[in-house]
Amino acid sequence: VRYAEGKGWYDARVEARAPIPMDPATAVLHYAQEIFEGLKAYRAADGGVTLFRPDANAARFRQSAARMAMAPVPEQLFLDALSELIRIDRDWVPSDPEGSLYLRPFQYASEVFLGVKPSSEYLFLIIASPVGSYFKGGVKPVSVWVSRDYTRAAPGGTGAAKCGGNYAASLVAQAEAIEHGCDQVVFLDAVEQRYVDELGGMNVFFAFDDGTLLTPPLTGTILPGITRESVLRLAADQGLTVREELYSYEQWQADARSGRLREAFACGTAAVITPIGVVRDRSGEFTIGDGTAGKVTMDLRERLVGIQRGTSPDPHGWVHRVL
Ligand code: PMP
């Protein structure tokens, strides 16, 4: 779908995937005015197709657009575009219980000019691609690397927006994590390098021995994850005390060592919920619990996956029927 100032959104169509020819002076190539979303379409037991909270993705897409000075895509257009694409690609939604059709809506500045200013033309596109299970051979705890050299987002920056530039800036930290034998990077806050913000592509939760569940608050520097918000609600349903509070890396180390911290997990659309087993930084490492997946983590995971796949009741009305 195209956008031009004064004309609005127009020219919606579904086409076979093909390269997009671009003028070398296209704004996005120079100033990175680009945002995206990620969500999955699931095959229902009766053969239909569902999405999980696509209205939340539509809302976040608009918020990301506002932060990047881009024209926002109307929520209904976002949902209609997803539905239309899924209708045409319905045979690509896997029927196996682990698979899904990954959907990648994105929007970029398509106007051709070289000055630094917001574009007056945009392109909104969605790619659809079938994916299998995130975990081959069952859920395994991941190891994480706490970055001391790089931060992800500063106050007033773009951390709460899902813009490509945030990921460009995090690649070097993710590479550092992999160099140190870890699966994912953990970012600390940019001001004091003290509080846990989030992972490279997931939000983070901590479960304590007194039945509380803690996650960092939405201070503007972390992405407001849709999985994060869903976990907060499911945890409250289960009678856990949920706290959205700052949590320092120092406290994390102390609580893991004293045994007060029982479990930690990361969450996001791709892996849903992933237990964290080992935490490493340049001065050493520690294990969470006995390093295996804990009960709070796996119960929440099962509840959420059940709702998404349509095998458990959906008390919050999160499942959106497309077909
Ligand atoms: N934080 C970051 C930086 C992410 O890229 C993602 C993935 N979109 C998340 C958190 C989790 O968000 P969601 O649950 O909406 O996928």
- pLDDT per residue over 115-158, tens digit each? 999 999 999 999 999 999 887 778 899 999 999 999 999 999 99
pLDDT tens-digit readout, 67-94: 999 999 999 999 999 999 999 999 999 9
> Measured from the CB, is residue 269 less than 6 Å from ligand 1?
yes
pTM for the full predicted model: 0.97
Question: Are 106 and 151 found together in one domain?
Answer: no
What's the complex ipTM? Answer: 0.99
Centre of ligand 1 to C-alpha 187, Å, is 13
Question: Are 199 and 272 found together in one domain?
Answer: yes
CATH number where 74 lies = 3.30.470.10
13: containing domain: 2-131
pLDDT tens-digit readout, 265-303: 999 999 999 999 999 999 999 999 999 999 999 999 999
Cα 247 from chain centroid (whole Å): 20
pLDDT on residue 136? 78
> Measured from the CB, is residue 38 less than 6 Å from ligand 1?
yes
Closest Cα to atom 5, ligand 1: which residue? 201
How far apart CA 285 and CA 323 sit, in angstroms, is 48
Closest Cα to atom 7, ligand 1: which residue? 201
How far apart CA 304 and CA 233 sit, in angstroms, is 10
Helix (H) or strand (E) holding 262: strand 261-268
Phi then psi for residue 8, to 5 deg, are 80, -160
Question: Are 288 and 163 found together in one domain?
Answer: yes
Question: Are 217 and 247 found together in one domain?
Answer: yes
Report yes or no: 264 and 292 within 8 Å, Cβ to Cβ.
no
Where a domain ends, among 83, 112, 131?
Answer: 131
Give the total number of structural domains in the chain: 2
Question: Are 224 and 299 found together in one domain?
Answer: yes
The mean of the pLDDT values for the chain is 97
Question: Are 76 and 112 found together in one domain?
Answer: yes
Report yes or no: 60 and 226 within 8 Å, Cβ to Cβ.
yes
Where a domain ends, among 112, 131, 150?
Answer: 131
Say whether pLDDT at 64 is over 90. yes
Report yes or no: 244 and 217 within 8 Å, Cβ to Cβ.
yes
Mutational pocket test of ligand 1: of 184, 223, 234, 267, the residue with most ligand atoms within 8 Å of the beta carbon: 223
Confidence of residue 186 (pLDDT cuts 50, 70, 90): very high
Question: Are 20 and 155 found together in one domain?
Answer: no
Where a domain ends, among 110, 131, 152?
Answer: 131
